[in-house]
Structure 1
Amino acid sequence: MTSTAVETGAGISDEVPAPAVPLAARTRGLRKVYRSTVAVDHVDLDVPEGAVLGMLGPNGSGKTTTIRMLLGLVRPTAGEVELLGRKMPEESAHALPDVGALVEGPGFHPFLSGRDNLLRFAAAEPRLASQAIPGAVDAALDRVGLSAAARRRYKGYSLGMKQRLGLASALLVPRRMVVLDEPTNGLDPAGTREIRRIIADLHADGVTVVVSSHLLAEVEATCTHVAVLQAGTVVAQGELADLLESGNAALLVRTPDAEQAVETLRENRIGVRLTPDGVRADLTATPAPRVLQVLVQAGVEVHEATRARTGLEDLFARLTEGESAAGDESEGEAS
């Protein structure tokens, strides 16, 4: 979406604004109840076409359950789901051929090689002609860096290699949308960089990508949009840059007299803390010119002053702290 960020739990707005761009997926009033457990509760989610949306949330927040309903793998208790303009799960046969997905790891045969497993997956692809299957499999293996291990048995793969093979199965044919649930799980730093590169390539090709992850740094590095879930509800969603700008206003002051600056601002009842980047002054109740005036009048040298940007980790903590989790993520239920 191109409008300003929406924080349904932070008081910025109570409603999702009308999208200014076409949507690859949307949910309205989405709810899923397992016996006495509410896994997802009235989720309104917009996924703009061509975006890389990061779904964030603590364990039990409903990320995986939401993804499953988005893909038609789980039927909602209530609410509506649209995927690529198709109603889900009723029209899944029309939508899913254009969607590649890696959700909680695919089921591969342990005694078959990685390549043979992928050949079986490719045989079920409705848009792959039989003669094109070997080439598509080899290209997918090469794309995820598994060509050298293609003929090894799957049971001998590391967790990271299994994740790569699952990603390869999602990329056998060109997709309009790719959904990845914890794609960097078990990967070493080099493998994580490869996943980041693949996501960037998909984005450059105009593919919509939805990534569920608990690695905030990876989401901040790869995603254009973010949706934060807490206790089965979306507490914030929007463009990543807008959400970061919506954080607590602060002024970052670089000075050789950092300790004096902190003491001076506190004497003037201005919230301040010392960070590795400099002195961070709270602008919630004090305008930036007043902060600088106080420092200069006290003889504090100010070398640079810039508007501080909220990091994703700070934003995530602010949105989710103090809330009780819906419970541990479990298979088939509130994950």
Structure 2
Amino acid sequence: MTTSFEVRDGVADESSATPAPALAARTRGLRKVYRSTVAVDQVDLDVPEGAVLGMLGPNGSGKTTTIRMLLGLVRPTEGEVELLGHAMPDGARHALPDVGALVEGPGFHPFLSGRDNLHRMAAAEPRLRASAIEQAVEDALERVGLSAAAHRRYRAYSLGMKQRLGLAGALLVPRRMVVLDEPTNGLDPSGTREIRKIIAELHADGVTVVVSSHLLAEVEATCTHVAVLHDGTVVAQGGLNELLESGSPGLLVSTPDGDKALDALRENRIPARLTPEGVRADLTTALAPKVVETLVHAGVEVHEVRRERTDLEDLFARLTQGESEPDGLSSVDAGGAA
């Protein structure tokens, strides 16, 4: 991409002179048709190196299908896919050893223990020496908090424990990229915090992480970038902060001189309104420095200035033209086939 962020359908479209970042993965004109059903249609997706990208979308938006094509598990009907510099799916044997993935839930042998299941996975890792398998398995179990339950059969695991074991399998060896489909599914609050910590550690180590989730709060708490899919195409993508700020171009000014600030701004033809903390200035016709300069010159006591941001739930609802559920969460895909 040559823009710092991009939102389609009139939400925002802002250009930047900042050079485009290096990409860990990209798609162009990606399309997948199952008989008469178009699952993905002309998806152009950029995954910057070192980013934590959250993929969001309503049921049937194409998230899982896009991820499967990205990993070479499904061949596109049309378009191009590049993963870690390799064209997919033909370059899968070169790219996938550097990718850890948990897609559509983990699949393990029910009568084997968690530890034995990981040993089987580790034996298939092309870059893991046989002498290093034992330590790699124990390190992965400890990292996801399953050491104490590693001897138990997989069929006795709870949903959250199964998710942890799947994540452990993705982290058996150092990766350049990790793809997680609903990683917090079935986890209690403590487990969710642990997954957040692991994602933060991967990000700090420079690993690119792609997270598909229906928990908007989790995406907002863990991701640096977001891609929103709707009806099989990308309707918005870019840095999370830029996308949230683009939704409401306003400047919140905390001041005890609310009336005085309002008069000063309106005299300078800057739309504004009073708020409980002070005033909100509309930035559609004025830049933030101009607002602050106007207030200071008018002798207004300014305590704090901050850019107004929408939250991810509001942004998602606006982009997909959907309604929020009664519990306050938008209806997004919980990881089923798309």
Q: Distance in 1 between matches of 2:189 and 2:315?
A: 25
CA shift, 1:307, in A, is: 2.9
Contact 1:2 1:239 in 2 (8 A): no
1:76 is aligned to 76
1:44 is aligned to 44
Contact 1:111 1:154 in 2 (8 A): yes
Q: Distance in 2 between matches of 1:309 and 1:273?
A: 17
1:53 is aligned to 53
Matches within 5 A, 1:13-162: 13=13, 20-162=20-162
Q: Distance in 2 between matches of 1:328 and 1:236?
A: 15
TM-score, normalised with respect to structure 1: 0.83
Q: Distance in 2 between matches of 1:310 and 1:330?
A: 23
CA shift, 1:52, in A, is: 1.0
CA shift, 1:21, in A, is: 2.2
2:227 is aligned to 227
Contact 2:245 2:307 in 1 (8 A): no
Change (3 A) 1:235 1:18: farther
Gaps of 5+ in 2: 263-270, 324-330
Quick one: which amino acid aligns to residue 106 of structure 2? Answer: P
Contact 1:6 1:16 in 2 (8 A): no
CA shift, 1:111, in A, is: 1.2
Q: Name the SS for the 1:6 alignment partner.
A: strand
Contact 1:146 1:161 in 2 (8 A): yes
Q: Name the SS for the 1:142 alignment partner.
A: helix
CA shift, 1:254, in A, is: 4.8
Can you list the C-alpha shifts for 1:260-300, whole angstroms capped at 9, x where unaligned? Answer: x99xxxxxxx786978x887665557888899x99xx9xx9
Change (3 A) 1:201 1:139: same
The number of aligned residues is 327
Can you list the C-alpha shifts for 1:42-82, whole angstroms capped at 9, x where unaligned? Answer: 00011111111111112111111100000001111110000
Change (3 A) 1:328 1:226: closer
Q: Distance in 2 between matches of 1:78 and 1:278?
A: 53
Q: Distance in 2 between matches of 1:286 and 1:18?
A: 22
Contact 1:228 1:235 in 2 (8 A): yes
1:172 aligns with 2:177: no
Contact 1:118 1:169 in 2 (8 A): yes
CA shift, 1:311, in A, is: 2.0
Q: Distance in 1 between matches of 2:180 and 2:2?
A: 23
Contact 1:10 1:235 in 2 (8 A): no
Change (3 A) 1:20 1:284: closer
Change (3 A) 1:180 1:247: same
Change (3 A) 1:12 1:290: closer
Change (3 A) 1:318 1:211: same
Contact 2:182 2:213 in 1 (8 A): yes
Contact 1:50 1:203 in 2 (8 A): yes
Q: Distance in 2 between matches of 1:62 and 1:52?
A: 19
Q: Distance in 2 between matches of 1:42 and 1:18?
A: 25
Q: Distance in 2 between matches of 1:328 and 1:195?
A: 20
Change (3 A) 1:165 1:285: same
Contact 1:29 1:44 in 2 (8 A): yes
- Give me the identity figure in percent: 74
TM-score, normalised with respect to structure 2: 0.83
**How well do the aligned residues superpose, as a CA RMSD in angstroms?**
3.7
Q: Distance in 1 between matches of 2:38 and 2:124?
A: 34
Gaps of 5+ in 1: 263-269
Can you list the C-alpha shifts for 1:209-240, whole angstroms capped at 9, x where unaligned? Answer: 11111212211221111111111111111111
Q: Distance in 1 between matches of 2:212 and 2:19?
A: 22
